[in-house]
Amino acid sequence: MNPRWNDFLLEAGARIAGDRVEDFGNPSRELQASASGDVIADLSHRGLIRVHGADAAKFLQGQLTNDIHLVDEDRSQLSGYCSPKGRLLALPRVFRRDDAYYLQLPRDLLEVTLARLKKYVLISKVTLEDAGEALIGLGLAGPRAAAILADLVPHVPAGPDSVRRGGDLSILRLPGGRPRFALYGPVAAMEQAWTALAAHAAPVGAGAWDRYDILAGIPDIRPATIDEFIPQTVNLELLDGINFKKGCYTGQEIIARLHYRGSVKRRMYLGRADVEPAPAPGTPLYAAGGDGQAVGHVVSACPAPAGGSELLAVVAVEHSSDNTLYIKDNPEDLVTLSPPEGLPPFA
């Protein structure tokens, strides 16, 4: 985390562990605020990779599942970064600022993803670097988020994935049922933005912020789930994260074959469980009366405002509607599933 930004957050009352703001003193109240009110959050737990140079677009086009040419100053996109076997190594959100592309992904995935990408640079005229200290990120969400933001910048992005620039700030509109935005800029500009927004929105920790992605059905890859999921099993094509017309990229053959010739036997569902703390990414799920083999795995999870946990889990489609799944070896930790909000029916 940028040292100056770290000090600024500490003065604002943040409790920080590494690059992650755990909370601002009352995690239970913050979780309740995120459920119905307007909130702001530090995004330092989300890392940034800067990709620039004459061959930057060509390089990313050969690595990501989405069409990088659709990313410009006015549009961001979710995209997958896959192994040659078509399994997800990362799920960055890509946006453009000035002369560079930025890949936003979990901070604990940044170093390994950066190292993998650099192996493919070869003679390309492209530079990849950690941009987490140069650009600071904060999130704003809530029913009045757009109106609050309109007092800070002249143009507010109106639709999901749209981007607007306001002075030093890049403003990304994020998908989901609740209006929410990610803002990026240099530390001085972000200090001013935080101060202005905090007059109208309550500061919350990283967990309360990440809950919005879970409710919107937006998956994350974490260290425990690297190389675990094929893009379609986490609904990436339903989230406009795959372009099947863009041409070759790493893992493309397997992903395209599943799309055109196969059927997806596992899908990602929204789950709820009366269990605390929230299960870790990669936690196996079992079917009551099954053969003891896992029928699914947790993708991401967070505490729920009313207690228990909310989660995203990839589960065998045949077990998605029986509502008798349980966590680990405890049949009392039942998980109920439903399709994530806003997605079309699974094929």
DSSP assignment of 229-257 equals --GGGGTTTTTT---TTS---TTHHHHHH
CA-to-CA distance for 311 and 313, rounded, in angstroms?
Answer: 6
347 residues of the chain, pLDDT tens digit each: 899 999 999 999 999 999 999 999 999 999 999 999 999 999 999 999 999 999 999 999 999 999 999 999 999 999 999 999 999 999 999 999 999 999 999 999 999 999 999 998 888 899 999 998 999 999 999 999 999 999 999 899 999 999 999 999 999 999 988 899 999 999 999 999 999 999 999 999 999 999 999 999 999 999 999 999 999 999 999 999 999 998 899 999 999 988 888 788 999 999 888 888 889 999 999 887 777 788 899 999 999 998 989 999 999 888 877 667 888 656 666 778 777 766 665 54
CA Rg value for the chain: 20
- The pLDDT of residue 331 is 60
Query: Domain map of the chain by residue range?
Result: 1-221, 223-338
> What amino acid occupies position 198?
A
- The pLDDT of residue 247 is 87
Closest by CA to 61, choosing from 39, 81, 38, is 81
CA-to-CA distance for 169 and 188, rounded, in angstroms?
Answer: 11
Burial class (CB in 10 A: 0-12, 13-18, 19+), 192: middle
- The pLDDT of residue 343 is 66
Q: Helices 187-198 and 3-11, interaxial angle, to 10°?
A: 20
Distance of alpha carbon 150 from the chain centroid: 24
- The pLDDT of residue 227 is 96
- The pLDDT of residue 339 is 72
CA-to-CA distance for 285 and 329, rounded, in angstroms?
Answer: 9
CA-to-CA distance for 93 and 196, rounded, in angstroms?
Answer: 26
- The pLDDT of residue 321 is 75
CATH class of 1-221: alpha beta
CA distances from 90 to 13, 65, 222, 224 (A): 32, 11, 8, 12
CA-to-CA distance for 287 and 306, rounded, in angstroms?
Answer: 25
State the architecture of 223-338 in CATH terms.
Answer: Beta Barrel (2.40)
- The pLDDT of residue 235 is 94
Using alpha carbons only, what angle is made at residue 190 by residues 199 and 137, rounded to the nearest 5 degrees? 105
Contact 215, 310 (CB under 8 A): yes
- The pLDDT of residue 32 is 92
pTM: 0.93
- The pLDDT of residue 338 is 78
